[in-house]
Chains A and B, each alone.
Chain A
Amino acid sequence: MDSSRALHSVARKTKIVGSALVGPALILVVAINVLPAFYGFYLSLRQVFFFADEGYVGLQNYVELFRDPFAWQAIGRSLVFTFGSLAIAVPLALVSAMGIRRLGNWGSILLTVLLVPWAMSPIVVALLWKWILVPSPGGLVGAIFAAFGVPPQDLLTDPLLAMPTLILIGVWRNFAFAAIILTGGLGQIPRDLYKAAAVDGLGAWEAFRKITLPLLAPSLLIVISMLTISYFNEVQTIIGLTGGGPIRQTTTLGYLLYHTGFVELDQGRGNAIAIVMFMINMLLIALYIKILGKQPGAAA
């Protein structure tokens, strides 16, 4: 009787000690990451302007947002930016990862070099590329254009070219991060499978389609999800490079949130945009899990 009570009190004590050790980290994470998310939802239902809360307005912020054609355009531009970047970054990362695996030690050196842009600050990347793209034959891209006999173009203020330019800079900045995870994923595919495929007379393309791609599905799911979150929420390079222009051509939902919330200080509506962004993020991730999670490799 006594010993079971003593055991019980020891178990309780370890529970208390354990909770006390997690406590401080949990409090900080809840205070910094979780609580503001709920507070943001609360604010999205209120009229908040210039730091002053003017009361509950229900779904008015959302209704106004969805009535605004600019908001729909911003959603469209976010999707163009996100999927345009993914369409270039993922295949590029896959090809690089396959090259890197073949190269052994040289491959890991190459990967390190490719990751240097990823280690830089996005706003610093924006300043850097503003200078690279400066429309003058004395600039780097200007000189390359001049070598081909093309006069210097201001890519960042051209309504047709600004978005593709932003996409390419985004790919430059972080496709190598995707390559790391894919390199790891490729390393987990058993080599014997390829030998067996070669014995069966499968060509390189068929081996890629029937072995590499399905077995890489879990890594691809991670890569595509992470890149989607990072591109969909990208705002720093857009602030630095185009400020949403020219004529709103690069005003993505993220930039619209920045402008509405922090520049116009319409904080109620800004929070409604944040909630919409969050929902679209979740929707895209759920879609990926549905498509890629079904692959046979996902079970492994």
Chain B
Amino acid sequence: MKTGTRIWLVLGCLLAALVALGPIVWAFSTSLKPTNRIFQVPPELIPSVSTLDHYARLISEGVHWAFLNSGLYAVMAVLVALTLGTVAGYSLARYPIPGKQLVLVLFVGAMAVPGFAVLLPTQLLFVNMGLYNTYIALPLLYAGHILPFAVWVTRSHFNTIPRELEQAAQIDGYSRFEAVWKVVLPGAKPALLAAATFGFLHSWNDYVTATTMVDTPGLRTLPVALIFFQGFHGRDWGALMAGVIIATIPPVVMFLLFRKYLIGGFADGSVKG
């Protein structure tokens, strides 16, 4: 590569990284400044005086309960979707199923339906069935949103694993379930982690489902609680940016830990179709 090209490439990368991370770093810096220094001119990137007051205020307002709700809903949704999805993905890869093409079309079609477009009928159904405003409303919906992707990635994975592998294990005296559990499933780890990461991000990051399916403060998720906090406290930017930071840490950590699997899962899912 020519030196000129190389310099432009490095400059481009630095600029891109700055644009991507700059706003987040600025939010973190704001969340640590005492309120009377937040609007200081010129602004300081590294606060000369710092405080954890804003984080404490979120806790005194009970926002940490919403944080726990978000985590609980996301984990429940991921567990349900991964269990049902793996079983279904395995079955679609191995068993003859009547109407298999239709079943596959339903799973792919469900991935293409934007969740937001069916939110209104879902709300009415949930109100009529007494599921509106309950603890299981959101985990159930998120599980349903994640499931098609979970089925899809596990199925593509099981398709690539030769049947002989589990048949050999069965000849060695394992039951079919044991053969799958001990021999096939450990190899499916990348597919499972891709589905789990995608599912966690989807559930944790959602706002619009949560705000339309749950009304009681005790059942609120973190994004909803932050919007309510903003409504009551106007422009308390210190506390709001503290909220932005605590809402961002779990998905970003999850994404950084499992990015390889997630990116692989998306690439597989989109290229192999």
Q: Which residues of A contact B (CB under 8 A)?
A: 11, 14-15, 17-19, 21-22, 24-26, 28-37, 39-40, 43, 48, 51, 96, 99, 102-103, 106, 110-117, 119-124, 127-129, 131-132, 134, 136-140, 143, 146, 172, 176-177, 180-181, 184-185, 188, 219, 222, 226, 229, 233, 235-236, 239-240, 254, 257-258, 261-262, 267, 270-271, 274, 277-278, 281
Contacts and interface: CB of A to CB of B under 8 A. Distances in A.
Contacts of A261: 119-120
A177 B141 CA distance: 24
B223 A40 contact: no
A29 B124 contact: no
Given A121-B205, A271-B120, A132 B113 contact: no
A277 B85 CA distance: 29
A23 to B, nearest CB: 8
B207 A123 contact: yes
B117 interface: yes
Majority secondary structure of chain B interface residues (helix, strand, loop or mixed): helix
A14 B143 CA distance: 27
Given A117-B20, A120-B252, A131 B121 contact: no
A102 B201 CA distance: 30
Majority secondary structure of chain A interface residues (helix, strand, loop or mixed): helix
B66 to A, nearest CB: 13
B91 A18 contact: yes
A20 to B, nearest CB: 8
B98 A19 contact: yes
Given A37-B121, A40-B117, 15 more contacts: A18-B96, A25-B151, A26-B88, A28-B84, A33-B118, A36-B125, A39-B121, A43-B124, A113-B16, A128-B244, A132-B26, A138-B43, A267-B124, A271-B120, A274-B120
Interface in B251-266: 251-252, 254-256, 259, 263, 266
B43 A140 contact: yes
Contacts of B121: 36-37, 39-40, 43, 271, 274
A24 B96 CA distance: 17
Nearest to B230: A127
Interface of B: 1, 9, 12-13, 16-17, 19-24, 26-27, 30, 38-43, 80, 84-85, 87-88, 90-92, 94-98, 103, 106-107, 109-110, 112-125, 127, 140-141, 143-145, 147-148, 151, 201, 204-208, 212, 223, 226-227, 230, 235, 237, 240-241, 243-244, 247-248, 251-252, 254-256, 259, 263, 266-267, 270-271
